A and B are shown apart, each in its own frame.
Chain A
Amino acid sequence: MEQLLTAKKLFRRVLLALIALIVVMLLCSLIGTQHISLKSVLASSNRQNAIDPDYEIFMHVRLPRIILACIVGAALACSGVVFQAILRNPLADPYILGISSGAGLGTIIAIVSGFSWTVWGRSPIAVFAFVGALGTIWLVWFVGRFTGKSNVTGLLLAGVVVNAFFSAVIMFLTSVAKSQQIYATIFWLMGNIAEEDIFVLWMGAGFIIAGIIALFYISPQLNALSFGVDDARSMGINTAGTQLIAFAIAALITSIAVCLSGLIGFVGLIVPHGVRLIFGPDHRQLLPLSGIAGAIFLAASDTLARTIVAPAQLPVGVVTAIVGGPFFLFLLIRYSRKIGWLNK
């Protein structure tokens, strides 16, 4: 029985992961085109009057951006876990049910129509992307419900069809847009993390962390759902309620992430798989550890994105795909072989 997960073991692992996250955040905040020293940052945080450039860069440029990367990474990884669980499909990621095309459509509409107002410091692009993402996923859910009992397949099909349809609309709008507008759209679609207003940051972080905690509470039910709706129900699980809660929260945190940073790919697919390969499929552990691993992964990727071709910056989505892909293949080969070998 030693290998079983206990509350104590889980707490210890989450704590260790959080410490690792803080270390990574600190390291990332010291790396950049402008060299800064932690000593002068700490020193100037005690003094009130004099403005130290190191402190300014640390507090107002790097830290907000790293925090943003962390909450976006955590949101994408956790919603990847949830979509893989409720769709019982290892290929599922946060965007599988149409969030990406919905957000993309919202973006291009905002860009083509040339709005210039803001909501809470968010540009029309972000607002339209958020509305588009959330609207699309509810449309998919609504359509998927009509397909009846085996609604996992129904949902997936609805997602694929809505994705295809919206992509067509996006292409239509792209073909009538001006080239500068197209550039802005593409850049946004690639996923990009930039310095962010502190109020927006706290709002996003609050919603995403609350969502992840709520998801943790339904993680035993997600375990049972891995065996299918029928089995979960005969084990006494309220499957419809669990699916709805999981779906709603995952959709919301993904939409917030998309609104904050565009479409960053790969995080929601490979982080859950990586954590699952190492720690196993138990969602009580998979969910919090994936959240933290997603935060670490995106913070590190963004640091690479802003330093590797400095003074220019890469879109972070490019880095997550280039770094994430090979890393995931390595994990897959290493751990699948280990597991197979152990059991022979």
Chain B
Amino acid sequence: MNIIEVKNLSFRYSQAEVLRDLSFDVAQGSFLTIIGPNGVGKSTLLNLLSALLQPDSGTIKIDKKTVESYSTKALAEKIAVVRQEFVPVFGFSVIETVLMARTTHYGQLGFENDTDRQIVNEALNVTDTTGFASRLLSNLSGGERQRVFIARALAQNTAILLLDEPTTFLDLKHQVVIYDLLKKMQMEKGKTIVVVTHDINLAAQYCDEALLLGTDGSYQCGTTKDILTTEQIEKVFGVRTFVGRVGQGKFFLPLGKFAKDIQIVSTNPNCNPLK
């Protein structure tokens, strides 16, 4: 069953058109990555999916209903969003932050009940943030903070998780921790996960589906295996890559003009990904 259905979606900011006639579906319980150069509208697409922006034309359906037909509260029970890191001006602690996901469920006096606490505790456990639950958000490392925001998204108890570049500022270990966590949520909880990323290699390793957005308004959607090819990547990003294989996965090595191995690839026909 398709939990997200996007049909003929177009959107333009006053200066530039970013999305043109885009259609794709996301099956329930799948892990989709949205990839593309800067400025093609990846974050815009996330904002359209979470109804922060309204499309100029086309429709977005979440669970068979258009996003516009949801109230803010009802949509927040379907979709949780993790945006690029943002630390609030006032010092909230980790657990206070995660509890905020339950705000719309608070009782008359504005306080959470036992169910809310249980959900929050579970979200803290699964993201491995329980150990610093009482620390201030501003005193955490980037990787810890990103896990807290994922915990908050999980505490919303939604079927769909949208993430905007969740690993951009993280080191290798924390990148892997985040993707392992997302994969676990997909496999164990059956969540549908949509992640915008610039990391083609992590996407190739973890995601089932890929949506590749091009600068000219073109796009490709399909399994990561079909979409993430060296031809497509060169076409969309304008960068040659060397593609290698490990088991079922692939890895991509970008080859710029002065890259160390550019000579080998250009002279050795077996190595040249374009041949």
Contacts and interface: CB of A to CB of B under 8 A. Distances in A.
A236 B76 contact: yes
B111 A281 contact: no
A233 B72 CA distance: 7
A89 B90 CA distance: 9
B89 A237 contact: no
A161 B96 CA distance: 36
Contact of A235 (B74, B93, B104, B135): B104
Nearest to A148: B14
A281 B91 contact: yes
B79 interface: yes
Interface stretch (B80-88, B190-198, B219-227): B80-88
Contact of B80 (A228, A234, A239, A280): A234
Contact of B103 (A4, A90, A217, A236): A236
B96 A237 contact: no
Contacts of B99: 4
B104 A237 contact: yes
B117 A235 contact: no
Interface in B129-185: 134-136, 139, 152, 156
A11 to B, nearest CB: 9
B50 interface: yes
Contact of B92 (A228, A234, A281): A281
Contacts of A282: 92, 96
Given A89-B89, A343-B136, A237 B95 contact: no
Contact of A1 (B76, B95, B109): B95
A217 B106 CA distance: 11
Contact of A227 (B95, B100, B109): B100
Main secondary structure of the interface of B (DSSP, over half): mixed
B90 A237 contact: no
B73 interface: yes
A233 B156 contact: no
Interface string A216-254: 110111011011101101111111000000000000000
B77 interface: yes
A246 to B, nearest CB: 14
Contacts of B52: 230, 233-234
A152 to B, nearest CB: 11
B106 A231 contact: no
B18 interface: no
B254 to A, nearest CB: 32
A42 interface: no
Contacts of B253: none
Categorize the interface residue count of chain A.
35 or more
A122 interface: no
B1 to A, nearest CB: 23
B139 A6 contact: no
B81 A234 contact: yes
A236 B77 contact: yes
A5 B51 CA distance: 32
A281 to B, nearest CB: 4
A235 B109 contact: no
A51 interface: no
A284 interface: yes
A234 B79 CA distance: 8
Contacts of A231: 81, 83, 86
A20 interface: no
A219 B106 CA distance: 11
B247 interface: no
Contacts of A50: none
B22 interface: no
Interface string A1-35: 10111110000000000000000000000000000
Nearest to A230: B52
Contact of A234 (B76, B97, B111, B136): B76
A238 B75 CA distance: 11
Nearest to B95: A4
Given A84-B90, A239-B72, 8 more contacts: A3-B93, A90-B89, A221-B103, A234-B80, A235-B101, A235-B152, A236-B77, A276-B90
Interface of A: 1, 3-7, 84, 88-90, 216-217, 219-221, 223-224, 226-228, 230-231, 233-239, 276, 280-282, 284, 339, 343
A-B pairs with the 3 shortest C-beta distances? A236-B76, A281-B90, A234-B81
25 contacts: A3-B95, A6-B111, A7-B109, A88-B89, A89-B89, A90-B90, A220-B100, A220-B103, A220-B106, A220-B110, A223-B92, A224-B100, A226-B90, A227-B88, A230-B47, A234-B52, A237-B72, A237-B103, A237-B104, A238-B72, A280-B92, A280-B93, A281-B92, A284-B111, A343-B139
